[in-house]
Amino acid sequence: MITQKGQSIEDKSMEIIDSEIGSHSYSPEEWIIVKRIIHSTADFDFARENKIIFHKDAIQSAIDALQKGCNIIVDVNAVIGGFNKDNLKRFGNQIICNISDPLVIEEARKSNKTRAQTSMRLAAKQMDNGIVAIGNAPTALIEVIQMIKEGITSPALVIGIPVGFVCAVESKDELRTINVPYITNLGRKGGSPCASAIVNALFKILIAKSKSA
């Protein structure tokens, strides 16, 4: 639960972001998400050079799923650390991260794949109608895309915003070619704080809609 002092600091930060960015092409709901990413990273490139890209159904599909208590599958534990836990409790969403599962470690060794890839494959059924949030491992995003193409899973939203130099850009480019709701960005930047920020912003939109209903 955020304190009054904490909320005032956050509000001031959001005012600064609005002021420094000025005019932009994002919709009001998209801007809530982009602004949250900038707030989490202090990196204004996410509204410019490394801008956030939204599938046309991304936000609506995500908030519908969150409201129903969908699973949220993540690539690394660092993503979980950035989540607002009160929101998860409120809607009953289950967090799934298999990266440290002994079965994943053993299978990754046998198949010569990364643990991130193997952990996504293990969670294929759990990510049906759920949200996949990948902030660290491009190989995890590539695996999810492959599973979607194989028809073995159908997430409500794929957040694909891995950071890095090897396959990060390529995995995001590939994500934008599939017919599943996604939120991603251009370029090498990204990271677990970005993935967490997107989920938190989606909850913020959901709660605002619930209050106005």
Percent of the chain with pLDDT over 70: 97
Q: Does the residue 29 lie in any domain?
A: no
Mean pLDDT of 8-19: 88
Q: Which helix (H) or strand (E) holds 20?
A: helix 4-21
Task: Report pLDDT for 5.
Answer: 65
Q: Does the residue 87 lie in any domain?
A: yes
Instruction: Return the C-alpha torsion angle 79, 34, 71, 121, nearest 10.
Output: -70
Task: Report pLDDT for 212.
Answer: 76
Task: Report pLDDT for 7.
Answer: 80
Using CA atoms, how far apart are residues 90 and 110, in angstroms rounded to an integer? 40
Res 2 pLDDT > 70:
no
The per-residue pLDDT for range 115-146, each reduced to its tens digit, is 999 999 999 999 999 999 999 999 999 999 99
Q: Does the residue 13 lie in any domain?
A: no
Task: Report pLDDT for 96.
Answer: 96
Q: Does the residue 177 lie in any domain?
A: yes
Q: Does the residue 114 lie in any domain?
A: yes
pLDDT band at 38, cuts 50/70/90? very high
Strand partners, 74: 133
Of the listed 36, 39, 121, 189, which one is catalytic?
39
Look up 39 and say whether it is catalytic.
Answer: yes
CATH number assigned to the domain comprising residue 107: 3.40.50.10230
Q: Does the residue 21 lie in any domain?
A: no
**What's the first-to-final CA gap in the chain, in angstroms?**
23
Tokens found for residue 135: 């902030």
The per-residue pLDDT for range 51-80, each reduced to its tens digit, is 999 999 999 999 999 999 999 999 999 999
Q: Does the residue 78 lie in any domain?
A: yes
**Number of domains making up the chain:** 1
Q: Are 55 and 198 in contact (CB under 8 A)?
A: no
Q: Compute how many other C-beta atoms are within 10 angstroms of the C-beta atom of residue 173.
A: 11
Using CA atoms, how far apart are residues 98 and 110, in angstroms rounded to an integer? 17
Q: Are 108 and 117 in contact (CB under 8 A)?
A: yes
Q: Does the residue 99 lie in any domain?
A: yes
At 52 the three-state DSSP class reads strand
Kindly write down the DSSP assignment for every residue of 157-189, as one continuous string: EEEE---SSSSHHHHHHHHTTSSS-EEEESSS-
Using CA atoms, how far apart are residues 63 and 206, in angstroms rounded to an integer? 6
Mean pLDDT of 77-99: 94
Average pLDDT, the chain: 93
Res 6 pLDDT > 70:
no
Using CA atoms, how far apart are residues 155 and 149, in angstroms rounded to an integer? 12
Task: Report pLDDT for 4.
Answer: 67
Strands (E), 42-195: 52-54, 72-74, 95-96, 131-134, 157-160, 182-185
**Structural domain span for residue 186:** 52-212
